[in-house]
A and B are shown apart, each in its own frame.
Chain A
Amino acid sequence: MIPVRATFEKRRRAKYISHLDLMRCMQRAFKRAGVPIWYTEGFNPHAYLMFPLALSLGCESGCECMDFRIDGEMSMQEAMERLNRVLPPDLQILSVADPVHKHTDITAADYAVTIDCAEDTAAEALRQSWDTFFAQPEILVEKKTKRGTAQVDLKSQAQLLGADTLENAVRLHLRMPAGTSVNVNPSLLTDAFLAWLPENAADVHTGMIHAERLAILCADGSDFV
């Protein structure tokens, strides 16, 4: 039995596959690919497949992880090649390796979030309003949890690693808490920004927001592998 951690990308059309659907999609991909994946034992055996960190719907990524075990004579390299032949082009495995970290080692994730300007808005104006928004001492939002809603201060949670003013957009580089216990989606922050705009910068209008996860990180800042 070979434990494998696969890193895969989820882009374009594939980024609209929900986390629950991704599990089913991958299970079917293993069957199609003929990769002998290990089945759990017990009353209702099912393919053992773990995703250490869920990716929110619509977020792109080139650093998603999936754990499985090969139960038979097949190298992890061959498993990857076979899977890529049956997976959609927007959902491809980039590398396979022995798992090093435990899932609980994950503490943060980095994101690039690009906020497009509406046609009537200049990128500088959008950038300025973002800077004002993020300079607030507190950014309080309601976050849905398993036990109802809780108030979260995003200012203390989000780390702004950088911001670029592009031609028609502003790109933010954010580090957010992530992991099995706390997980903060960068869309919470952009949603708060969009809600803040009408009262504080009424003439600034935004277009589409693109989010991409850039890295999954451990406590010491190293990549989760």
Chain B
Amino acid sequence: MNLFEKIEPLLLRVQKPARYIGGEMGSVMKDKADVKARFAFCFPDRYDVGMSNLGMKILYSCINARPEYWCERVFAPDTDFEALMRENGLPLYGLESLEPIRDFDFIGFTIGYELCYTNILNMLDLADVPVWQRDRGESIAPIVCAGGSCCCNPEPIADFVDLFFLGEGEELDLEVMDLYVKMRDAGATRSEFLRAASQIQGVYVPSLYDVTYNPDGTVQAVTPKDGAPATVKKRIIENFDQCPVPEEFVVPFSEIVHDRAVTEVLRGCLRGCRFCQAGFLYRPFREKSPETVCRQSRVLIENTGYDELSLCSLSTSDHSQIEEMMDGLLTFTETEHINLSLPSLRVDNFSAGLMNRLRRVRSSGLTFAPEAGTQRLRDVINKNVTEEELMRTCRIAFSAGQTSVKLYFMMGLPTETDDDIRGIIELAQRVVDLFYEGERRPKGKPVQISCSVATFVPKPFTPFEFHPQDTREMIAHKQKILEEAVAGHKRIRASWHFPDTSILEAVLARGDRRLSSVIFGAWQRGCIMDAWSEHFYYDRWLAAFADAGLTPEFYANRDRSYEEVFPWDHIDYFVDKKFLIRENEKAKQAATTPHCRLSCANCGVIRETGHPCFTYN
């Protein structure tokens, strides 16, 4: 059932209608009569955000590379279009076929941010699919699945999802689809399929686990049933350098957040910053060779027509051959009017050679993330960046003509004091002073240092997963300290956010299965698009907590013991809890851990991969 005739009369009544009609260059069209299974790849946020997501582009191309499968894109409609959809009985549809996704075989969500959980419920509801897993009955389709970094603790949304993909999906998603087609054609029911799928490494079927709680509200035990594994391991790609990547992107008509070609240069991170969930979730560290990066970038530029190329990773300057890679890329980007951008650079290995290459490609300001204002606190979080390194990098940047530097910090880090907060502005002032000391600084231009200070959210699978988040009062106090500290500093700008979204993020990140009813209650009260401040209603969330007999403080502000059973303890991301405890203890002593290339910290990855991540001399 093609919905074009129903969609069209609504389009001129909404903002940016191009988001809702598909037909972009690079979108994959197939004949549904020729395919065995259809996958609705749902991004639980607006088109302009979701279309920027590299994971979605990768899996869209992986699934569509198989002639017998058809993957389509689905995004959360903005509120104006959603109202018209509901008013006119228009169900959520795939942007390629313009057909209702309730008729697809898989409805898969990629989840990278906790504050989009209500959008998942809303999209299922718009699709006419029961939001609770238990209400979906025994007919096999559609299977509601989810993947992405938030699924490392899937429990808060466990009651809405049939099946989670843990880890990297390039191979896993297809294996699950293959099993599905085989079992569907043999007449299997939903629960029969889910039981069989739970045997594949990387698949977590929450309905096959019973959770019991202690009187104090903590988890007592998570018990598998029907032969499901006691711990569910994530999946990784064996050969990252040779792993297939999208040779084409769907190139949107309307502007999106990151509107450019993107090449992933490395996966994982060797740094072990103790606050950073991604740094632990995506281990082990794997690089692509400069040749592969250049070849893939070139193909992508040719096929998309983009005039901007961005390198993507958690820490691009940690690539062992970054300068060779840049040289290879510059040979074609310069002659073909392609802008090259490199986010995610570190200050401790930012060489003059790299700066010279960067000068050839862009003139915008530089961004660095010291994360904390004092050396003591940077050691606590294992950032392994010294002030000298930051100053050296800024000196290189200033003498190369830069006049603005953006610095990212966090507040609410474990062991943090008021002096650490003041240290943010003191550090920024020393960068300002450095600028005016410089002899080769650009004349006649003032320097501008922007300090963006986010509220720290403790996350699962990090050494800080045991820590309470600062209460709202503590954060308000620290924001006041920061405000007073920056007053009178003309060349420094500090910015921070109201902490309620970070508090909710902390709750959902380390929550348990009982939060399903809170998320449902918040959605019933009209919460959607919580990530957007204009749609965020914390009072509605608090009402939903009260209805469920739960409090956000229990999840966000509680000190968790090493003995406590965490809601995600049966999920295995290859990083051992023992290692996280060791790292947390070192954090308390402000002792650092060297990065993985210097020595192995025994995080647990080696147990799964069977070989060291690096060869050590």
A90 to B22, CA, bound (A): 11
Instruction: Please give the distance in Å from A207's CB to the nearest CB on chain B.
Output: 7
Q: Which residues of A contact B8 (CB under 8 A)?
A: 208
- Please report the C-alpha to C-alpha distance between residue A27 and residue B306 in the assembled complex, in whole angstroms: 9
- Kindly state whether residue B528 has any CB partner on chain A within 8 Å: no
Q: Given A13-B22, A16-B21, A32 and B11 touching (CB < 8 A)? A: no
A31 and B23 contact, CB distance less than 8 A: no
Which positions 25-58 of chain A face chain B at CB distance < 8 Å?
25, 27-34, 39, 45, 57-58
Which residues does chain A contribute within 8 Å of B4, judged by CB atoms? Answer: 12
- A27 surroundings in chain B (CB, below 8 A): 305, 307
Minimal Cβ-Cβ distance residue in B for A17? B253
Find out whether the CB atom of B305 lies under 8 angstroms from the CB atom of A14.
no
Instruction: List B1-46 residues whose CB lies under 8 Å from chain A.
Output: 4, 8-9, 11-12, 16-18, 21-25
- Mask for B302-337, Cβ within 8 A of A = 1, else 0? 111111000000000000000000000000000001
A202-217 interface (Cβ within 8 A of B): 207-208
Distance A32 CA – B303 CA, assembled complex (angstroms): 5
- Choose from A16, A45, A208 the contact partner of B17 (Cβ within 8 Å): A16
Q: How far is the CA of A216 from the CA of B351 in the complex (A)?
A: 57
- Report if B251 contacts A (CB, 8 A): yes
Residues of B within 8 A of A30 (CB): 305
| Per-position binary interface string of chain A over residues 2-35, scored 1 when its CB falls under 8 Å from any chain B CB and 0 otherwise | 0000000000111011100110110111111110
Q: Is the CB of A207 within 8 A of B305?
A: no
Separation of A158 and B337 alpha carbons in the complex (Å): 45
Contacts of A45 in B (CB 8 A): 337
How many residues on chain B are close to A (CB under 8 Å)?
25
* With contact pairs A21-B253, A45-B337, A208-B8 given, residues A31 and B21 touching in the complex (Cβ less than 8 Å): no
Bound: A64/B400 CA distance, A: 47
Contact at B17–A88, with CB atoms within 8 Å?
no
Say yes or no: A32-B337 contact (C-beta < 8 A), given A18-B18, A27-B307: no
Min Cβ gap A120→B in Å is 16
In the complex, the chain A residue whose C-beta lies closest to that of B302 is A32
For residue B433, which residues in chain A have a CB less than 8 angstroms away from its CB? none
Whether B302 pairs with A21 at a CB distance below 8 angstroms is no
CA of A16 to CA of B254, assembled, Å:
10
Is the beta-carbon distance between A39 and B337 smaller than 8 angstroms?
yes
For A207, the chain B residues whose CB sits under 8 A away are: 9
Q: Inside 8 A of B255's CB, which chain A residues have their CB?
A: 21, 24
Q: Is the CB of A32 within 8 A of B254?
A: no
Considering only CB atoms and an 8 Å cut-off, how many residues of chain A contact the other chain? Answer: 29
Contacts A17-B18, A28-B304, A32-B304: A88 and B24 contacting too (C-beta < 8 A)? Answer: yes
A13, B251: Cβ atoms closer than 8 Å = no
A205 vs B115: C-alpha distance when bound (angstroms)? 43
Nearest B residue to A26, CB-CB: B305
Which residue of chain B is the closest to A22 with respect to CB atoms?
B253
Answer whether A29 and B23 are a contact pair too, CB < 8 Å, given A21-B253, A58-B11, A207-B9.
Answer: no
Is residue A141 within 8 Å, beta carbon to beta carbon, of the partner chain? no
**Complex: A22 Cα to B21 Cα, angstroms:** 15
Interface flag for A86 (CB, 8 Å):
yes
Determine whether A87 belongs to the interface, using a CB cutoff of 8 Å to chain B: yes
Rounded to whole angstroms, the CA-CA distance of A81 and B337 in the bound complex is 24
Closest chain B CB from A36 CB (angstroms): 11
Contact B18 A21 (CB under 8 A): yes
Bound CA–CA A18/B25 (angstroms): 15
- Report B260-314 residues with CB < 8 Å from chain A CB: 301-307
Contact in complex: A25, B337 (CB < 8 Å): no
- Interchain CB contact under 8 A, B23 and A14: yes
A32 to B4, CA, bound (A): 28
Chain A residues positioned under 8 Å from B11 (CB to CB): 16, 58
Residue of A nearest to B338 (CB): A31
8 Å CB contact of B23 from A33, A88, A208: A88
CA gap between A188 and B270 in the complex, in Å: 60
When A39-B337, A207-B9 are in contact, do A31 and B18 touch as well, CB less than 8 Å? no
Scoring A12, A32, A208 by chain B CB atoms within 10 A of each residue's CB, the highest score goes to: A32
Extra 20 A-B pairs, beta carbons < 8 Å, given A13-B22, A21-B255? A14-B23, A16-B18, A18-B16, A21-B18, A22-B253, A24-B255, A27-B307, A28-B251, A29-B305, A31-B301, A31-B305, A31-B306, A31-B307, A32-B25, A39-B337, A45-B337, A57-B12, A57-B17, A58-B11, A87-B25
Residue pairs across A and B with Cβ atoms less than 8 A apart, 25 shown, are A13-B22, A14-B23, A16-B17, A16-B18, A16-B253, A17-B254, A18-B18, A21-B18, A22-B253, A25-B25, A28-B25, A28-B304, A29-B25, A29-B305, A30-B305, A31-B301, A31-B305, A31-B307, A32-B25, A32-B305, A57-B12, A86-B305, A89-B23, A90-B23, A207-B9
The 10 closest A-B pairs by CB, nearest first: A28-B305, A13-B23, A31-B305, A32-B305, A208-B9, A21-B253, A17-B253, A16-B17, A58-B12, A16-B18
